[in-house]
Amino acid sequence: MRLLRYWPWVAYAGFVFIASLWMGQQSYSWLPPQATAESQLVDDLFSFLVVLGTIVFLGVFGVLMLAILTSQVSRFDISDGPPIEGNVKLEVIWTVIPVLLVLWIVTTSFNVYNQMNIRGPVDVVHLHHMGMEPAYAATLDEEGQPIEEIEVNAKQWVWTFHYPNQNVTSTELHVPVDRRIRLALYSEDVLHGFYVPAFRLKQDILPKRTIDLEFTPILEGKYRLEDSQFSGTYFAAMQADVLVESPTTYQNWLKQAAAAKPTPAFNQAYSEYYRGEPNKPVEVGWASVPPAKPPLVNQPTPEGIDQEVPDKKGIEKDMGGEG
């Protein structure tokens, strides 16, 4: 008979366990596609946290509902409740269990952190001014394939990507699938944030410093790069396309881009600021930083670029003088 008293708790515990596992599986559908190997690690960690959170939520909810349904008294009962001085066993239980859960979460998160090879601020900052490179800057990945190195430049408010081996510059980030990628992130002015939701990677870019970020894309497609930091008036317009392509398509794009004549790229912030008149910026009523001039890139000029990029010839002349 005593065992029968506990069967509702056993049934509810089973329900909580099954419901939590189901929620953990559902959590994968709440996120963007897994476009990198690192995204799988992040999603597994997120699913793990959703399972634990559901267990805690339903556990507390069940106890709360039990208290509400079984601890009622008549509306006219104004007597005091039983004088409970304390329960050492209960206090130990509700202290030890949360501590163990937190340690479990910390250990799991740290293991994921290590598997992603995320580097701290001391490790990722290059000592370029001293002519030094970090010790981890290997040129081959674990399978012996050369690591694709790309330089990423951020400035208010445009992304540019330079491929040093081919001397190609673009406002789109092209990367080959199933290859290790190393980005050298650099900011010319203020704090920016490199963030691609489908990659599950976000790296702050410190001004005047180069910071490395490595990842392995695993899903071909077109994704969106955003500036995750508020970098000024037009930071919402500081976005770029990220294209994960097959190695053949990627190499063909590099060859075509290398053969193309550098032309000014479309810059949304620059276009909105000058509205077609390069010497007459839009009046906003407060001090504003002028956007950087559209960069010269090895890409075919988009249709209508003469209208979108004011003073195109002047920009080409200025950029040529800088080179």
CATH number at residue 275: 2.60.40.420
Give the pLDDT confidence of 70-85 residue by residue, as tens digits. 777 777 878 887 777 7
| pLDDT at residue 197 tops 50 | yes
- Do 299 and 223 share a domain, yes or no? yes
Q: Are residues 103 and 135 in the same domain?
A: no
pLDDT (tens digit per residue) in 133-174: 433 444 545 555 678 999 999 998 889 999 998 889 999 999
162 with 184, same domain?
Answer: yes
DSSP string, 41-90: HHHHHHHHHHHHHHHHHHHHHHHHHHHHHHS---TT--PPPP-----HHH
R_g (Cα) of the chain, nearest Å: 28
Assess if residue 150 is contained within a domain. Answer: yes
- Asked whether residue 60 carries a pLDDT value surpassing 80, the answer given is yes
* Band (119; pLDDT cuts 50, 70, 90): low
Residues 147, 291: one domain?
Answer: yes
Would you say residue 269 lies in a domain?
yes
| 111 in the same domain as 129 | no
The range of the structural domain enclosing residue 183 comes to: 123-306
Residue 7: per-residue pLDDT: 80
Domain match, 268 and 169 both? yes
- Structural domain includes residue 311: no
Token pair recorded at residue 120: 């701290």
Q: Rounded to 5 degrees, what are φ and ψ at 21?
A: -65, -40
Q: Write down the pTM of the prediction.
A: 0.75
What kind and span of H or E run contains 196?
A: strand 192-196
Are residues 213 and 284 both part of a single domain?
A: yes
- Each residue's pLDDT tens digit, 23-37: 999 999 999 999 999
Specify if 76 maps to a domain. Answer: no
